[in-house]
Amino acid sequence: MRLSIVHTTTYAFARAVRFHPHRLMLRPRNNHDLHVAAHDLKCTPAARIAWSQDVFGNLVATAAFDAPAERLEIASRLVVETSAAPWPVFQIAPEAHSYPFPHSDDEFIDLGPLLRPVRADPQVAAWARGFIRSNPTDTLSLLKDLNAGVLAAAAYRPRDEEGTQTAAETLDLGSGSCRDLAALFIDAVRHLGFGARAVSGYLFDPDAEGLQPDTTHAWAEVYLPGAGWIAFDPTHGRTGGAGLIPVAIGRCNGQIMPITGSYAGEPGDFVGMTVRVRMATEQAGA
């Protein structure tokens, strides 16, 4: 499937302000089932763009601005080709079919902090252990049950505030945004000994093309020997990468925000921000 994605973020100010360098994570990385066919990044006022990779290999653009302005617009235009299967079969190594299972020495070292919860919370640990039906138990079934259990414990709620709730806060409140639900799932599976990482990107719903305010999305990936990194989307109770366009991965959501930056001025100078994402299918070769 070939998709066009236009992601426009606009910041409005009461007077002209100077912008500090902004860190942009808006370009997906190519992988075996995702190919970036085209990408155009434009800033208004004009910016000097420098590209780099962070410690996770994410593509990062740093935008440096010379001119002050009352309005800052960052527009990312993508064409991607995705072939993720809607019903994937995961080639999990035989030794990892049943939980619990040991990681190899290399895996344990390389996963490192991705095995440790952001917060070692007894409440979250007890909640996660409640999904273990027997010892041993089927690994993939355990993860799918926990993925589905997130939405049963906490309803999806759009949230404009910055930052991510802790896993315990999401359980206590019984609601959260997609990034909050993903963070709950990540901490829960880490309490059970799995390596997990946060993912930001886009969600494509073929039944709702056009302007979709919720197509920027956050979900999780869990590492299983043999299969590698498997996507789990607790907001929709889905497993596998179909419909998901990953842009950045990290240890936690705070590392993979699409746009981060600041300006020189007073707090009251900031008027507001709007985010628009438009996604549509394209004909191959278009």
pLDDT per residue as tens digits for the range 152-205: 999 999 887 788 999 999 999 999 999 999 999 999 999 999 999 999 999 987
Please give the residue that has the higher pLDDT: either 127 or 213: 127
Whether 265 shows a pLDDT value over 80: the answer reads: yes
pLDDT-derived band at 102 (thresholds 50, 70, 90) equals very high
pLDDT at 284: 60
User: Residue 29 and residue 59: Cα distance in Å, rounded?
Assistant: 7
Could you tell me what percent of the chain has a pLDDT over 70?
Answer: 96
Whether 22 shows a pLDDT value over 80: the answer reads: yes
Which CATH number does the domain 2-83+257-282 belong to among 1.10.274.10, 1.10.569.10, 2.60.40.2250, 3.60.10.10? 2.60.40.2250
- The mean pLDDT of the chain is 93
Alpha helix segments (H runs only) across the chain? 105-111, 122-129, 139-153, 167-173, 178-191
Task: Provide mean pLDDT across the span 93-112.
Answer: 97
pLDDT at 48: 98
For residues 8 and 284, the answer to whether their CB atoms sit within 8 Å is: no
For residues 255 and 198, the answer to whether their CB atoms sit within 8 Å is: yes
Query: Measured between alpha carbons, how far is residue 135 from residues 98, 131, 139, 220 in Å?
Result: 9, 11, 11, 25
pLDDT tens digits, residue range 119-158?
889 999 999 999 999 999 999 999 999 999 999 999 999 8
pLDDT tens digits, residue range 227-245?
999 999 999 999 999 999 9
pTM of the full predicted structure?
0.93
Please give the residue that has the higher pLDDT: either 283 or 214: 283
Please give the residue that has the higher pLDDT: either 173 or 29: 173
Chain centroid to CA 230: how far?
13
pLDDT at 210: 44
CATH topology of domain 94-255: C8orf32 fold (3.10.620)
Whether 285 shows a pLDDT value over 70: the answer reads: no
Whether 247 shows a pLDDT value over 80: the answer reads: yes
User: Residue 196 and residue 219: Cα distance in Å, rounded?
Assistant: 11
Buried b (16+ CB within 10 A) or exposed e, 86-109: eeeeeebeeebeebebebeeeeee
Could you tell me what percent of the chain has a pLDDT over 90?
Answer: 87
Which tokens is 102 given?
């040991």
Whether 209 shows a pLDDT value over 50: the answer reads: no
The domain spans of the chain are: 2-83+257-282, 94-255
Task: Provide mean pLDDT across the span 242-254.
Answer: 95
Same fold, 2-83+257-282 and 94-255: no
Whether 2 shows a pLDDT value over 50: the answer reads: yes
pLDDT at 141: 98
Whether 105 shows a pLDDT value over 70: the answer reads: yes
In terms of C-beta density within 10 A (0-12 exposed, 13-18 middle, 19 or more buried), how is residue 37 classed? middle
Query: Measured between alpha carbons, how far is residue 138 from residues 95, 115, 135 in Å?
Result: 11, 19, 9
Whether 57 shows a pLDDT value over 60: the answer reads: yes
Q: Report the chain's C-alpha Rg in angstroms.
A: 20
